[in-house]
Amino acid sequence: MHHFFVKDHQIVDGKVYITGSDFRHAARVLRLKAGEQILISDEEGRDYLCEVEETVEGECPDFETPHLRAAVSEAQEGDHELPARVWLFQGLPKSDKLELIIQKATELGVSDIVPVDMKNCVVKLEEKKAEDRRKRWQAIAESAAKQSKRSRIPKVHPLVRFTDALRMSEDMEVRILPYENEEGIASMCEAIVNFLPGRDIGVFIGPEGGFDPLEVKLAEHQGVRIVSLGKRILRTETAAIAVLSMIMIRLEIAAELGFEAE
């Protein structure tokens, strides 16, 4: 079933109006016809099963732009989101790697992805190019959210410096930073206990060149827990996927067992 995200103003009196690039994709690429079912998610993360009524190429009294109109059949009961807000602060890798990380992080349930300029980043982006890349990264997050039947699209934030990333995370209840020089997997086991529904969780992942020791000391000084992911050195994209997978499983189990943050 095809999945679309819409703004609140696109749902009027039980009708959904798909416009813009989504309209072009639905009408001209997917060639959706009257009677076909689609899944719609609104800005609040609510999901609706809808039935296509018609496509309108020109203006009409109901909705002025070209659109596909669908009728809401029923609200979906299932909740496809994690029971906590998970932020990924990702050291900026080469662009193709970040695209993979964004896709997989979206599938694993993150709410926010923040590209971070760190000392050992190989890639350096100018402000205008960074914004162009951010728009592409946001489109990748949207596509991955549709594929994985997410109810919300993760927000891809503008590129920030490491100190700004720490500042953005300072009010989060749980913050971890996997570091290759940290010894003992017990540090990660201790951190996992704190991944509970209702909490804001921040994850810092280094770029291809790893974290600079001064960055690790600064993060630790500001209350970020330094953890180990085991005896092997993981690539930046592997580290992000590994940590987010642990968080997803822990949160899902905790929610099923009724654990909540105090």
For residue range 32-83, what is the model confidence (pLDDT) as tens digits? 999 999 999 998 889 999 999 998 886 666 667 889 999 999 988 767 899 9
CB atoms < 10 A from the CB of 64, how many? Answer: 11
Residue 128: pLDDT band (50, 70, 90) is: confident
Segment 21-32 mean pLDDT = 92
The answer as to whether 146 is a domain residue is: yes
pLDDT value of residue 60: 63
Helices (H) and strands (E) in the chain, counts: 7, 13
Domain extent for 50: 2-75
User: Do residues 119 and 91 touch, judged by C-beta distance below 8 A?
Assistant: no
Among residues 40, 75, 110, which one ends one of the domains? 75
Among residues 75, 99, 114, which one ends one of the domains? 75
Reference 161, options 108, 202, 118; nearest CA is: 118
Q: Return the residue matching tokens 């989101």.
A: 81
User: Do 95 and 186 belong to one domain?
Assistant: yes
User: Do 175 and 197 belong to one domain?
Assistant: yes
0.85 cut: is pTM over it? Answer: yes
Residue 156: pLDDT band (50, 70, 90) is: very high
User: Do 118 and 235 belong to one domain?
Assistant: yes
Residue 124: pLDDT band (50, 70, 90) is: confident
pLDDT, one tens digit per residue, over 158-190 is 999 999 999 999 999 999 999 999 988 999 999
Q: Return the residue matching tokens 């109109």.
A: 69
| Burial of residue 58, with CB atoms counted within 10 A of its CB: 0-12 exposed, 13-18 middle, 19 or more buried | exposed
Among residues 75, 94, 116, which one ends one of the domains? 75
pLDDT value of residue 262: 65
Answer yes or no: is pLDDT of 157 > 90: yes
* Proportion of the chain above pLDDT 70, given as a percent: 97
As for how many domains the chain has, the answer is 2
